[in-house]
């Protein structure tokens, strides 16, 4: 018997629809450059010291046999992550589990919970939380993230088993402040609910009141699982390496033990050269190079924000996160404005409604771009004909 829950997914994932529209635009306007600020993928080449480390990892395998690695990741990388990101929160290497990325972790985490449980997710949301919940046969309730809530989800009134939080947030580009995270941790403690905190964009945080990790909040170790990745911080989207943090304080070590058991049953880990390359992000050179890349993306974001502002558009986010949540001009739905942007300016952005009903009336602009492209985007937007 097939899993009937697949029938409940919306028939088509938004990105293939966008790809088709993009292909059509390119076909109709040959020779003209489309600016793609859609899918939030990196656009800079791999940092040299990371590329070298990966090839060193491969050459190391030429010298000596390295078969299956530990399902939870090599100690050398777990220790580096703990030392550099979590030691100040009292989290150790054995509480960090390597994986092929946060997309997988955000879906697989559902294995810890009984099918048919209740999951709360933001609306709009990174679609994986919704789809993974539906495929697992869980009930989903939505937490509105709109102008009224400052684009920050509020704890639900209903009893739920776990909640996905994404901060800094995709798609709204807004990050939660310390008091906002404290409110969530207190609520989770009181209601005995787990928080799954997707922090893949934490390396983009610049505001002093936005903590770098949920574990900066007292008590979070008892209620929160944090998911992070080298994808956006170090250009690993095509290499695949992320990690889930499951403190032993969660349910007296039960979740930690289950996650280890799951990894043993379902994973043979991440390849050695990729983990070797990820370790290089913590060397002085690797840190400098990857930091410089994040800074370039932030600079692209700054040019886009300043340009949109000068043109009189309204937008949110983009400060602590490489996404700008751009309010549509009067009279346009997200898809209508998507079509207008593509046809008039050859600019591709993602319709906010693709992330959930509360995203209607917005576009998501990715800041993974260069200065020159960000500037060209603003020049083209200067020509658009609409009432703002």
User: What are the residues whose beta carbons fall under 8 Å from the beta carbon of 195, sequence distance 6 or more?
Assistant: 162, 163, 165, 184, 185, 188, 214, 220, 223, 224, 225
Contact 8, 134 (CB under 8 A): yes
CB-nearer residue toward ligand PLP: 162 or 332: 162
Indicate the residue among 42 and 249 with the shorter CB distance to ligand PLP. Answer: 42
As measured in angstroms, the least distance from the Cβ of 141 to ligand PLP is 19
Residue 234 or 381: the one with the smaller Cβ distance to ligand PLP is 234
Phi, psi of 247, rounded to the nearest 5 degrees? -60, 150
* Cβ-contact 309, 302 below 8 angstroms: no
Q: How far is the CB of 166 from ligand PLP (least distance, A)?
A: 5
Closer by beta carbon to ligand PLP, 123 or else 229: 229
In whole angstroms, the minimum distance from the beta carbon of 236 to ligand PLP comes to 7
Nearest approach, Cβ of residue 62 and ligand PLP (Å): 28
User: Six-digit token pair at 146?
Assistant: 């709109």
Residues in the chain: 388
- Binding stretches for ligand PLP (CB under 6 A): 40, 101-103, 126, 166, 170, 198, 200, 229, 231, 237, 242
Both tokens of 84, joined, read 């550099």
β-strand partners of 194: 162
The residue to which tokens 């990966």 are assigned: 54
Give the pairing of strands 323-327 and 242-245.
unpaired
CB closer to ligand PLP, 102 vs 203: 102
Distance CA 347, CA 330 (A): 19
User: Strand 118-123 relative to strand 139-144: parallel, antiparallel, unpaired?
Assistant: parallel
Contact 138/25 with Cβ under 8 angstroms?
Answer: no
Tell me the chain's radius of gyration from C-alpha atoms: 21
- Cβ-based neighbours of 4, under 8 Å, separated by 6 or more: none
Q: Which residue is nearest to ligand PLP (CB)?
A: 101
In the bound state with ligand PLP, the residue whose beta carbon lies nearer, of 170 and 193, is 170
Minimum Å gap between C-beta 288 and ligand PLP is 22
Residue placing its CB nearer to ligand PLP in the complex, 102 or 334: 102
To the nearest whole angstrom, how small is the minimum distance from the Cβ of residue 39 to ligand PLP? 8
């Amino acid at each position: 018997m097939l899993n009937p829950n697949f029938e409940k997914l919306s028939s088509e994932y938004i990105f293939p629809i966008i790809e088709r529209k993009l292909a059509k635009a390119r076909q109709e306007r040959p020779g003209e450059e489309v600016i793609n600020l859609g899918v939030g993928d990196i656009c800079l080449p791999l940092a040299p010291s990371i590329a070298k480390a990966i090839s060193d990892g491969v050459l190391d395998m030429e010298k000596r046999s390295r078969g299956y690695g530990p399902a939870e990741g090599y100690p050398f990388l777990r220790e580096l992550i703990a030392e550099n990101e979590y030691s100040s929160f009292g989290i150790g290497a054995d509480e960090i589990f390597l994986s092929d990325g946060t997309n997988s972790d955000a879906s697989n985490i559902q294995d810890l919970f009984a099918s048919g449980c209740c999951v709360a997710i933001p609306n709009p949301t990174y679609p994986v939380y919704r789809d993974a919940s539906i495929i697992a046969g869980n009930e989903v309730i939505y937490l509105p993230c709109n102008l009224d809530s400052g684009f920050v989800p509020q704890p639900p009134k209903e009893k739920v088993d776990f909640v996905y939080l994404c901060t800094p947030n995709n798609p709204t580009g807004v990050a939660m402040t310390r008091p906002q995270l404290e409110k969530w941790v207190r609520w989770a403690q009181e209601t005995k609910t787990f928080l799954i905190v997707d922090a893949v964009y934490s390396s983009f945080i610049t505001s002093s009141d936005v903590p770098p990790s949920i574990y900066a909040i007292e008590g979070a170790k008892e209620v929160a699982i944090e998911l992070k990745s080298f994808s956006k911080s170090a250009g690993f989207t095509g290499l695949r390496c992320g990690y889930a943090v499951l403190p032993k304080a969660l349910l007296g070590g039960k979740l930690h033990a289950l996650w280890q058991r799951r990894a043993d049953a379902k994973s043979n880990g991440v390849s050695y050269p990729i983990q070797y390359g990820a370790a290089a992000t913590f060397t002085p050179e690797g840190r400098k190079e990857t930091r410089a890349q994040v800074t370039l993306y932030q600079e692209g974001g700054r040019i886009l924000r300043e340009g949109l502002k000068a043109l009189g558009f309204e937008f949110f986010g983009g400060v602590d996160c490489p996404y700008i949540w751009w309010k549509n001009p009067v009279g346009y739905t997200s898809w209508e404005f998507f079509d207008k942007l593509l046809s008039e300016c050859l600019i591709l952005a993602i319709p906010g409604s693709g992330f959930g009903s509360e995203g209607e009336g917005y576009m998501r602009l990715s800041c993974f771009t260069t200065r020159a492209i960000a500037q060209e985007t603003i020049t083209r937007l200067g020509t658009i004909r609409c009432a703002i």
